[in-house]
Structure 1
């Protein structure tokens, strides 16, 4: 009996080790696909000119509420492949489409989605992560209609560091998202990113928010300006409304997902697990599992209005 238990444990440990090596391998190849998309420019999609392949893939995914109902799925596939616990935040079963949407194509799609989902139910978390990275490769291949070069299978994938692989990917994804925001936000890009960088810097340096608030009371300086001066070393004036309009026609969920992806690439230790929107209040909430940050468009700029634990 003891021998049986030992052999069973030995087999399980080896299977897990093999799965971890396989995951590093598939993340490595997915990185190569993302880099290929990043270096693909001047695309034509239908009658539209597409500037960059990776930007186009990202926008397609955040806009697709049918294939990507869960933000955790997008984040794991794209920005934080090293945070494998995210797979636990991806719903097991996808909801069915409304009856009025169930035409022939949607019936086939739902049927395939059910098959894929039920199949995933019996997989270990790491195997699910492997599948999601393979999905990311397929998404790039199908969206951009490009072929990947022959993969070098002779490498020692077990020696690869998953965090290093993820950081290499995040640099590309972060750059692409910033370019998307620059197109979407237009003239308010600098002010918007100053908001995000302020939040990230505060998290990194652990500034004493109570002290900053007290400074505000004593000097009459706004909290945002105090933070900018103390943390960023800048004296940019108060946020003012852009007379030409700041956020162009950008759906709230899409914008929220882009923010969640960007913040996950910027601070991967505080990666976003869940997001939700309030269309009535026009707010976006990002949840990293510890802190919920709510954003709202104020005077033409998206600003963080609350932070709760």
Structure 2
């Protein structure tokens, strides 16, 4: 067992980044597009986020394009393309372009262009990821609150709400990214699976609650709205 752990550690140390500056440039351009929409048409940006949430992309791809773009440079990234172990750069760039397309379809704003001597390298990806989350966190929170208001009291849009929770948790806690969102067939609750734990959300008496276990046989319900209000300012 110890030898196996040592071999895994060595493998991690010796994995080289597979991205070039072209990917960093695409992340920067997408950030600028997001900021432009946020400043000029925040409702349009929120509509673009909702369209991505209600599209056909799995949770991990949504996280990659809206929450944690810097993780495309890490070899242990899952993707909706089943053959991918190391995410090829052309697919990572195409993922960024999907965000640009989603924004342009709603706002009609063209994507920004780099200046003639402007270039961004891999070492800027961590900062670019933080910059993105500052804006997508606010936009996603606003979309989630609107989805909860729209769904009252039966919350027939629970899948939409839970996927938004998955994205918002990944933005808020990028080290514990949500890998999968499972909605029970009854439509009463969903389970969000992260790298560090599980989170359950449920419709209950006309509100959405987070379910937290207390001991072995007891659960406590928390209204999600006070939790959301602590995360990002409402605009």
TM surpasses 0.5? yes
Q: Which residue of 1 is the match for residue 192 of structure 2? A: 286
Query: Structure 1's 249 and 282: CA in aligned 2 closer, same or farther, altered over 3 A?
Result: closer
List runs of 5+ in structure 2 lacking aligned partners.
1-15, 214-235
Contact 2:27 / 2:96 at 8 angstroms: preserved in 1? yes
Shift of 1:250: 5.2
Contact 1:30 / 1:137 at 8 angstroms: preserved in 2? yes
Q: Which residue of 1 is the match for residue 172 of structure 2? A: 266
RMSD: 2.9
Contact 2:190 / 2:201 at 8 angstroms: preserved in 1? yes
Query: Structure 1's 59 and 162: CA in aligned 2 closer, same or farther, altered over 3 A?
Result: same
Shift of 1:298: 2.4
Q: Which residue of 2 is the match for residue 125 of structure 1? A: 87
1:85-234 superposed matches below 5 A: 88-92=77-81, 121=83, 124-127=86-89, 128-158=91-121, 160-186=123-149
What's the CA shift string for 1:44-97, capped at 9, x where partnerless? xxxxxxx61110101111122xx32x111111111111222598432335xxxx
SS of the residue corresponding to residue 210 of structure 2 reads: strand
- Count of matched residue pairs: 196
List runs of 5+ in structure 1 lacking aligned partners.
1-15, 42-50, 94-120, 188-244
Query: Structure 1's 275 and 156: CA in aligned 2 closer, same or farther, altered over 3 A?
Result: same
Query: Structure 1's 301 and 161: CA in aligned 2 closer, same or farther, altered over 3 A?
Result: same
Shift of 1:253: 1.3
What's the CA shift string for 1:249-279, capped at 9, x where partnerless? 5512111110011111111111111111103
Contact 1:72 / 1:87 at 8 angstroms: preserved in 2? no
SS of the residue corresponding to residue 305 of structure 1 reads: strand
User: Could you tell me the TM-score, scaled by structure 2's length?
Assistant: 0.71
- The structure with the largest helix share of the pair is 1
Structure whose CA Rg is larger: 1
Distance 1:170 1:86 in 2: 21
User: Could you tell me the TM-score, scaled by structure 1's length?
Assistant: 0.56
